[in-house]
Structure 1
Amino acid sequence: MDEGTGAGGLRDPAPRTVLFSEAQSGLRARATLLDALAPASAALLWDLAGAGLSFSAIHAIWTGPEISLPIDGAKALPGHDLRAVPVENATSYPQAGDVALVCAPRGTWRDGPPFDLVDVGLFYAAGGRLLMPMGWIMANICARIVDEDLAAAAAACRAIRTNGACAITITRDA
């Protein structure tokens, strides 16, 4: 069996990647979906990327080195049931390069957002922790920023921290 073929001689599919971009900071980070480890979460991120939309983004306050994209799930992903996304490949301590996904339907937390939240977090350095005002939470790690993009992505994320809120576009990487 040659390299790249799986059981029965079938070629393994190429990994899917998404692209996070933002002009002012120069952010251009490709992330490989972790389909085998977090299939439902990776599928949701792929669906978000398929729309090619831009989403408001901020540097997180509580979680350390993270750019957070808090998205209204019902608007961005009509017809998706966020309750159907299981806990998979989850952690409270994301690492540099992790793309974390939190699905929290309205009412998950007291004083939480008044919409069905899909939060995409780009962790760009060590020291990430998901300790929020309501306590510890877990996020599904559904993608990883490719190694060759991580240093530049970290610099761009630090620029976003300095510059303030922005709009990050998520697209499928061809």
Structure 2
Amino acid sequence: MNKEAAVPRYITITLEQRGVTCRARLLDDVAPATSTAVWDVLPQSGDAVHAKFARNEVYALVPRITSAPRRENPTVTPIPGDVCLFDFEPWEIGNPAYGYEQGSQAHAENGATDLAIFYDRNNLLLNGDVGWVPGNVFATITDGLPAMAEACNDLWRNGFVGERLTYARA
């Protein structure tokens, strides 16, 4: 375990255009490798996207975090407040049906990392093209979830063009 893990580590997650930030505690106890891999590359930012398949998820694709493990504290049924990492090979994420523009992180030669927040209940990580898509739960939102959930619902209803999702050390 990371020497710093004795003291809880926190990150902030911000929807830039909407000016909404929440705070999440890294789960160093159950996802130490994923937590450290993310911590070591912060800050990270990408276009905010509301998930098509998972239901109540907003995410950003960032350059692939190659030091993150494939599976650690995985779930296919995230709960409100879960913060997950998904590691994608280029062939998994670049499908034209997903709507990512050419030149976006989804089409990067070495794949992409998806950093996602789940803001409400009844999520199921099942993609019709590839099946189950487990994510590593590496943090839990401790402050600001109600305001973030409201902003995420607004993202769903009113669109996410121009919105950025930023992860940073707190």
TM range (shorter): 0.7 to 0.9
TM-score by length of 2: 0.80
User: What is the letter of the counterpart of residue 172 of structure 1?
Assistant: R
Distance 1:150 1:107, change over 3 A: same
Whether the aligned pair in 2 keeps the contact of 1:48 and 1:170 (CA below 8 Å) is: no
Distance 1:118 1:12, change over 3 A: closer
Map 1:44-123 to 2 at 5 A.
Answer: 44-49=37-42, 52-73=43-64, 77=65, 80-81=66-67, 85-108=69-92, 111=95, 113-115=106-108, 116-123=111-118
Identify the residue that residue 145 of structure 2 maps to in structure 1: 150
TM-score by length of 1: 0.78
Number of aligned residue pairs: give it: 153
C-alpha RMSD of the superposition:
2.3
1:159 aligns with 2:154: yes
Per-residue deviation, residues 108-141 of structure 1 (Å, max 9, x unmatched): 5784843321011110000111111321111110
Q: Secondary structure at the match of 1:168?
A: strand
Whether the aligned pair in 1 keeps the contact of 2:26 and 2:140 (CA below 8 Å) is: yes
Distance 1:109 1:58, change over 3 A: closer
Distance 1:31 1:12, change over 3 A: closer
User: Could you list the runs of 5+ residues in structure 1 that have no partner in the other structure?
Assistant: 1-10
Larger Rg: 1
Q: Secondary structure at the match of 2:6?
A: coil
Percentage of pairs with the same residue: 29
Q: CA deviation at 1:154?
A: 0.7
User: What is the letter of the counterpart of residue 138 of structure 2?
Assistant: C
Q: CA deviation at 1:26?
A: 2.8
1:23 aligns with 2:16: yes
Identify the residue that residue 41 of structure 1 maps to in structure 2: 34
